[in-house]
């Protein structure tokens, strides 16, 4: 978890220096250690061969199928291997129990670790986290568990829980639910801002909070613009949201959707003006349109008051009431 600020820097550097080779490198970083581990595991098999070979093949098959189906990027594929190792290590912790808890607890613990990891990434610059990634981590931990069962199975495995294991599983399961709920509340819970002139867009902040942050950032950034990217720092979520809208505005403009690009620009001017005007590590010249481009967009937008719903926010947002 603590390597997250630096790991992304490494992945970005690889992608920048070797763009064509970055995906093969990511696959190699996943396949090579998995193949070595598989070879070592197969050498250990002396008894219960059918069950152990099946567990190993299931582990590799599920992992490969998931990586392919989800079209994981270089960092995500490597992340998958990391959580597979974590699932293996959690299994080693509870292996002496010899009951169903040996299977249940490593997956629950991997999910807790994954939620905490993604939550931490949400609050540091450049990185982000979402529930989909927590699911990826849980699947990876499950594959690590299957691999562990094939490589080093318990002496016996009862598919029931002893009274002591039931209490442990209940506690860890309750903790998993609580941690995941807090993660969703921190990352996916927000507000739908409905502006009768501009349209509807999603934000982590309320209408009043956005206006307050706009004034606060304008005053603060006049003296201390966020020029330098400090990887060991708290990410400015207001700046991040503004950049979501900048990226969506530019994408709509490039695709020829002038109406959407114009509305996104108006959202930026109204709620995220400091992001447009302040030089930052996300853009040395700011992001405000030149007057000619703005006038052209306004003339071509055909803005007759039709509703607009922004697609700028890149992850699912739950806008249920706060209670």
Rounded Cα distance, 318 and 315, in Å = 10
Is the pTM for the entire model greater than 0.85? no
Rounded Cα distance, 225 and 123, in Å = 19
Q: What is the pLDDT of residues 176-185, one digit of tens each?
A: 999 999 999 9
Backbone dihedral angles phi then psi of residue 113, each to the nearest 5 degrees: -60, -40
Rounded Cα distance, 250 and 256, in Å = 10
Backbone dihedral angles phi then psi of residue 193, each to the nearest 5 degrees: -90, 115
Q: Is 72 left (phi over 0), alpha (psi -120 to 50) or beta?
A: beta
- The structural domains of the chain, with segments of one domain joined by +, span 4-187, 191-300
- 62-71, 74-83, 215-224, range with greatest mean pLDDT: 215-224
Say which DSSP state 194 is in: E
Average pLDDT over residues 236-256: 95
Rounded Cα distance, 313 and 248, in Å = 9
Rounded Cα distance, 271 and 239, in Å = 11
Q: Is the pLDDT at 215 greater than 90, yes or no?
A: yes
What pLDDT score was predicted for residue 323? 66
């Amino acid at each position: 978890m603590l390597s997250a600020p630096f790991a992304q820097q490494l992945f970005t550097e690889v992608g920048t220096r070797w763009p064509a080779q970055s995906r093969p490198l990511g696959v190699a970083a996943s396949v090579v250690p998995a193949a070595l581990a598989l070879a070592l595991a197969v050498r250990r098999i002396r008894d219960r061969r059918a069950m152990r070979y099946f567990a190993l093949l299931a582990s590799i098959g599920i992992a490969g199928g998931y990586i392919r189906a989800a079209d994981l990027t270089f960092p995500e594929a490597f992340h998958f291997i990391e959580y597979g190792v974590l699932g293996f290590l959690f299994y080693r912790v509870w292996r002496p129990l010899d009951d169903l808890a040996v299977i249940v607890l490593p997956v629950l613990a991997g999910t807790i670790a994954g939620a905490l990891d993604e939550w931490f990434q949400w609050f540091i610059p450049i990185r982000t986290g979402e529930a989909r990634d927590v699911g990826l981590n849980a699947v990876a931990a499950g594959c690590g568990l299957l691999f562990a069962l094939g490589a080093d199975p318990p002496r016996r495995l009862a598919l029931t829980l002893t009274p002591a294991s039931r209490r442990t599983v209940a506690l860890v399961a309750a903790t998993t639910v609580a941690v995941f709920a807090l993660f969703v509340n921190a990352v996916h819970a927000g507000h739908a801002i409905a502006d009768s002139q501009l349209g509807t867009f999603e934000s982590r902040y309320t209408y009043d909070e956005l206006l307050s942050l706009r004034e606060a950032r304008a005053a603060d950034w006049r003296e201390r613009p966020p020029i330098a990217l400090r990887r060991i720092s708290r990410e400015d979520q207001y700046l991040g949201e503004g950049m979501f809208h900048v990226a969506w505005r530019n994408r709509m403009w490039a695709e020829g959707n002038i109406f959407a690009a114009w509305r996104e620009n108006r959202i930026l001017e109204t709620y995220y003006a400091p992001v447009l005007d302040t030089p930052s590590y996300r853009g040395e010249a700011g992001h405000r349109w030149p007057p000619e481009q703005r006038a052209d967009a306004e003339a071509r937008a055909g803005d007759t008051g039709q509703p607009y719903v922004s697609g700028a926010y890149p992850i699912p947002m739950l806008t249920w009431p706060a209670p």
